[in-house]
Structure 1
Amino acid sequence: MIATAAPAPTIATMMQDLVDSVGPVHEPAADMADLAEVIRTLRAVEARRDTRVRLGGNLFDVVITSSGMQPHSTVALMDEIQGGCGPVIEDPASGWLYWLVPPRSSSVWEPHSHAVCLGAPHTITLPSLNRATPPGPYWLRPSASDRLVPTGPLREVLAQLRPEPTPHTALAAQLGITP
């Protein structure tokens, strides 16, 4: 009995088999998307532009308090506790301070009467690193690569000084949630 050989695969067929074996080409690896976002963020910061970043992830979460005399006293106390307070952004238009705290702090943050902690899926716009005065949001305490604001001491100082007004109602309205 004589058997006929199967037709040799074409180059196009071999290429398609290879593509099919790798998986969908339109779905980048999850860690690659995060890496690309971090690189874009770092390039924008390096170019001294305001930069919108996603909270959560591996960078930081944010604690929001009012700004004014009491919160500025909080910054001074955190300077003493931390040997120079970690990064804090002041936004005169909203009347808020944004304290950059360790990532995933929002997942363990207990409700606080004078502060709110947010993480993913929220975002924040970081002012250019060279913006140290108004107008617009500015670095009250500049960002340093080696530190964030520790949540434990910050909670204690906020409980002691009780900065008013609290951000809860205004923030809930901005985010479209019921307090």
Structure 2
Amino acid sequence: MTAPVETLPTGAEMMQHLVESAGAARQPAADMADLAELIRTLLAVHERRDTRIRLGGNLFDVVITSSGLQARGAVALMDEIQGGCGPVIEDPENGWFYWLVPPGSCAQWEPHTHAVCLGAPYTITLPSLNRTLPPGSYWFRPSASDRLVPTGPLREALAQIRPEPTPHAALAAQLGIST
């Protein structure tokens, strides 16, 4: 006689159970709504789906540069500095790299001739964790646990290598902001 096979619930099923067990009369604390949104987002990425996430908060901001040959040289330089560059997403459609930097970096980022730093209220679509090649956006340098790209060394690398074309005008047009 064989024992019945028990399956574990998926992350989405666990979240649904938690929501249902809270009951209609329960109102979550304001920060719990943010936490629930974050957990759903991270579960989607883990389940190998692209997902849109808000910049800033406790996760990360993003530095945007071109993704041309010079920018690839900056990644190689950051590989040396960091012992393996932190997470970088390539967006081949726009020709950009998205460097994931510590949260709050946007507030401290001084204007740079070859890069733009964005945080809240902007969003970014994270590719699924297994996407490491085009088509579409993909992880040029995959995300590794809690490692982000440090802004000081990145800023210096970009000033030294000067990746072109700069993203300023195209990004301003896309976001509807003036430069």
Give the TM-score range, shorter chain. Answer: 0.7 to 0.9
Distance, in Å, in 1 between the alignment partners of 2:64 and 2:27 is 35
Please name the residue that 1:33 is paired with: 33
User: Could you tell me how far apart the structure 1 residues matched to 2:46 and 2:165 are?
Assistant: 35
CA–CA distance in structure 2, aligned partners of residues 138 and 43 of structure 1: 18
2: CA distance, partners of 1:30 / 1:63: 29
Equivalence map 1:111-150=2 (5 Å):
111-150=111-150
Give the aligned partner of residue 4 of structure 2: none
The AA in structure 1 aligned to 2:87 is P
Residue 178 of structure 1 corresponds to which residue in structure 2?
A: 178
**How far did residue 159 of structure 1 move?**
0.3
Residue type at the aligned position of 1:54: R
In structure 2, what residue type is equivalent to 1:68? G
State, as a whole percentage, how many aligned pairs show the same letter: 80
Gaps of 5+ in 1: 1-24
Structure 1 residue 84, shift from structure 2 partner: 0.1
Partner of 1:20: none
1:45-96 Cα distance to aligned partner (Å, 9 max, x none): 1211001100001000000000110000000000000000000000111000
Q: Deviations over 1:105-158 (max 9, x none)?
A: 000000000000000000000001000000000000000112000000000000
> How many Å separate the matches in 2 of 1:139 and 1:162?
22
Match of 1:42 in 2: 42
- Cα-Cα RMSD: 1.2
TM superposition shift of 1:27: 6.4
Residues 87-106 of structure 1 aligned to structure 2 (within 5 Å): 87-106=87-106
Q: Secondary structure at the match of 1:132?
A: coil
Q: Which blocks of at least 5 consecutive residues in structure 2 are unaligned?
A: 1-24
Count of paired positions: 155
User: How far did residue 29 of structure 1 move?
Assistant: 2.2
> What is the alpha-carbon distance in structure 1 between the residues aligned to residue 46 and residue 157 of structure 2?
33
TM-score after normalising by structure 1: 0.84
Residue 169 of structure 1 aligns with an amino acid whose one-letter code is: A
Aligned equivalent of 2:78: 78
**Which has the greater radius of gyration?**
1
- Separation in structure 2 between the aligned mates of residue 149 and residue 50 of structure 1, nearest angstrom: 21
Give the structure-2-normalised TM-score. 0.84
